[in-house]
Structure 1
Amino acid sequence: MARDRSETQGERGPAEGGSASTLARLDRRSREIFRRIVDTYLETGEPLGSRNLARILPMALSPASIRNVMADLEYLGLIYSPHTSAGRLPTESGLRLFVDAMLEVGDLTTEERRDIETRVAAGGQRPVDDLLADASRMLSGLSRGAGVVLASKSDQRLKQVEFLRLEPNRALVVLVGEDGSVENRLIDIEPGTTPSTLVEAANYINAHLRGRSLSEARSELQLRQESMRAELDQLTARLVDQGLASWASVGGNRPETLIVRGQANLLDDVRAAEDLERIRLLFDDIETQRELIGLLGSAEEGEGVRIFIGSENKLFSLSGSSLVVSPYRDSESRVVGVLGVIGPTRLNYARIVPMVDYTAKLVGRLIR
């Protein structure tokens, strides 16, 4: 059963309050005419005129009456005419009103859920980056837009640490993350450090800090300071601290990762020269990774699916594109990334919103 998006998603777009007050100003027939104009745009991208509206409306209205209603909707900034004597298209404000107050979001079918699970979870245990790339590719394929994933690298979880002596005063720290990533760091060691000391320090870290993030590991070591001094000699305790410090340098040197798949799908929507220019501008937006990362990062602060439409965000102000995104969380309900779909403003929001929502929940379960 279809439900209003406010019942299924926790976070709405930037203009929710204005949408509610505007909707209250529309009577039943104005809402129906507006809905039909938006539905036609989302389905075909074409404007809808008064004569065609008169044929499909559930109430009997003449084309002249419909034009009067359309004039009121145009005055409210919800629709516009792309050229003289044409039908009407929704404005970005109109799309925001529709998405915030009128969009009916259905649940995914069992078959659709199974399809998403098969595409994302295929292959068993893999590095997280591979899993996220598959999620981006899957979202692109099912939405016919571009799938995007922003993955944080700053809070990697530790699987194993090893210390390997290279020279009398130098050692290699090998850090293995739970996602299968491996990082190597060189550290200085004190004279007299024996192989057994290196092994003891590694065993201590692996026993007490395995599966923890850097912030959690630091907190754990602070709590264990007294017991660590009792269990380890000073040399070994200093090695444990050095291992933790080398891990911190990994986080500082590994920026957030942006994964984009399926940009070519956006060319399928090209209908005219102005559409091709819009797609070119969108490609430029995507290539400006710092801006896109900033936009996706802002979505981490909300709950559930968020929708950004066109010029509501500076990044898409020229290309007139939309972004549907949701954060995904780790086993402790902390946001560790964002995923979603970029496409034209006439995205099939009713289908894509639950798809993005379910994929975010699935990825969160798989990375735990």
Structure 2
Amino acid sequence: MAALTSAMRERLSALDERSGEVFRRIVESYLDSGEPLGSRSLSRLLPMSLSPASVRNVMSDLEELGLIYSPHVSAGRLPTQIGLRFFVDAFMQVGNLSAEDRASIDRQVRRSDRDQPVEQLFNVASQVLSGMSRGAGLVITAKNDPVLKHVEFMRLAPTKALAVLVGEHDQVENRIIELPAGVTSSQLTEAANFLNAHLAGQTLAEVRGQLQKVKETVRTELDVLSQDLVERGLASWSGGDADDKNPTQLIVRGRANLLEGLAGAEDIDRLRMLFDDLEKKDSMIELLSLAETGPGVRIFIGSENKLFSLSGSSLIVAPYKDGDDRIIGAVGVIGPTRLNYARIVPMVDYTAQLMSRLSR
């Protein structure tokens, strides 16, 4: 993982004003255009009088420090990953969120009444962050344990059925489940009727506990196939195995934004690999852990996190909390390393604070 060592930090802290200004201009140009900046163009941008030859000497020193590099012979310079990290830590000034951006987030991410489940806001929050950042908006949340209102099984094929589970706020979750061999339509109905009669009005956790208590009832009221269906239906609501204690869900919006400006098939393959990784549960838990390990907004650039080591993406992420001040999820933005960090950091921070208020 690329990071600044203590020795490197000492050397970087000794940068004089001239070197610091040259470095800052190179990074800002990269964040704005993505293009390398040459010595002649840079000499015209600097507030002090420096010839192109003098600028090249400073560039050589910065390159030796590992802050910048030349992508091609005789080309200008671009910041390295270490250079971007140093810029974010030492040079970037993060201001307050603009009144316009704040109003836009407030207008879209809102809870119209207390009975509205907060889960409905997750898609909106992810979409808002995507649209405002031109990256991919990210929301990770520990999946709530809703109260069951109604359960139904619908046969799709001899060995498959659709489990339809409705919560008290009319949220619906549909899952395709494998049917035991030889199950009949009447057994599908029996299993649904049993759940609706005995287990409706309870959360999934309560249902699981209740199911243990009524095992004998299940055996007397249902045959073995129907009992299996009951348990499969409960697993389908959680989206995982019955022993999954901390189910999480990941919502990503704006993936198409990340395709803009990619150089070729290799970049697209790296991006596809990133999203393949994000689909895995371990990655969701890892992302949530990243947000939990420090207060406020955290920035991960490229290979600073193994999840992004191949895709070369950056992540800006912040946790949000419930009324008991427990971290229950995270919001963030994934994008190329040339994200507008100074604008997106307060955007992510404000959205996380808003989600915390709405989750209470």
Q: 1:286 aligns with which of 261, 272, 278?
A: 278
Does 2:341 correspond to 1:345? Answer: no
Does 2:32 correspond to 1:43? Answer: yes
Does 2:48 correspond to 1:59? Answer: yes
Q: Which residue of 1 aligns with 2:355?
A: 363
Asked whether the equivalents of residues 19 and 100 of structure 1 are also in contact (C-alpha less than 8 Å), the reply is: no
Asked whether the equivalents of residues 71 and 77 of structure 2 are also in contact (C-alpha less than 8 Å), the reply is: yes
**In 2: Cα distance, 1:14 partner to 1:74 partner:** 16
Does 2:124 correspond to 1:134? Answer: yes
Q: Which residue of 2 aligns with 1:303?
A: 295
1:102-154 superposed Cα distances (whole Å, 9 cap, x missing partner): 11111112222111011111644432221112111111111011111111137
Q: 2:98 aligns with which of 80, 92, 109?
A: 109
1:333-353 superposed Cα distances (whole Å, 9 cap, x missing partner): 111111100000000000000
Amino acid at match of 1:92: Q
**In 2: Cα distance, 1:64 partner to 1:51 partner:** 8
Distance 1:289 1:251, change over 3 A: closer
Q: Which residue of 2 aligns with 1:208?
A: none
Q: 2:199 aligns with which of 165, 168, 172?
A: 172
Q: Could you tell me how far 1:62 is from its partner in structure 2?
A: 0.5
Amino acid at match of 2:213: D
Q: Could you tell me how far 1:286 is from its partner in structure 2?
A: 3.1
SS at structure 2 position matched to 1:105: coil
SS at structure 2 position matched to 1:291: helix
Q: Could you tell me how far 1:314 is from its partner in structure 2?
A: 1.4
Asked whether the equivalents of residues 23 and 101 of structure 1 are also in contact (C-alpha less than 8 Å), the reply is: no
Does 2:136 correspond to 1:146? Answer: yes
1:287-316 superposed Cα distances (whole Å, 9 cap, x missing partner): 445224313323212100000110111111
**In 2: Cα distance, 1:86 partner to 1:269 partner:** 20
> How do 1:1-368 and structure 2 match up within 5 A?
15=4, 20-121=9-110, 123-125=112-114, 126-153=116-143, 171-172=198-199, 174-175=201-202, 186=211, 188=213, 252=244, 255-272=247-264, 274-368=266-360
Q: Which residue of 1 aligns with 2:188?
A: none
**In 2: Cα distance, 1:364 partner to 1:28 partner:** 41
Q: Could you tell me how far 1:281 is from its partner in structure 2?
A: 3.8
Distance 1:285 1:18, change over 3 A: farther
Amino acid at match of 2:346: P
Amino acid at match of 1:144: R
Asked whether the equivalents of residues 111 and 358 of structure 2 are also in contact (C-alpha less than 8 Å), the reply is: no
Distance 1:316 1:252, change over 3 A: closer
Q: Could you tell me how far 1:270 is from its partner in structure 2?
A: 2.2
Distance 1:64 1:281, change over 3 A: farther
**In 2: Cα distance, 1:45 partner to 1:135 partner:** 28
**In 1: Cα distance, 2:110 partner to 2:282 partner:** 29
Amino acid at match of 1:53: L
1:209-243 superposed Cα distances (whole Å, 9 cap, x missing partner): xxxxxxxxxxxxxxxxxxxxxxxxxxxxxxxxxxx
Q: Could you tell me how far 1:39 is from its partner in structure 2?
A: 0.2
**In 2: Cα distance, 1:111 partner to 1:151 partner:** 27
Asked whether the equivalents of residues 173 and 186 of structure 1 are also in contact (C-alpha less than 8 Å), the reply is: no
**In 2: Cα distance, 1:65 partner to 1:109 partner:** 38
Distance 1:128 1:260, change over 3 A: same
Asked whether the equivalents of residues 19 and 96 of structure 1 are also in contact (C-alpha less than 8 Å), the reply is: no
Q: Could you tell me how far 1:256 is from its partner in structure 2?
A: 1.0
Unaligned runs of 5+ in 1: 1-12, 192-246
Asked whether the equivalents of residues 318 and 349 of structure 2 are also in contact (C-alpha less than 8 Å), the reply is: yes
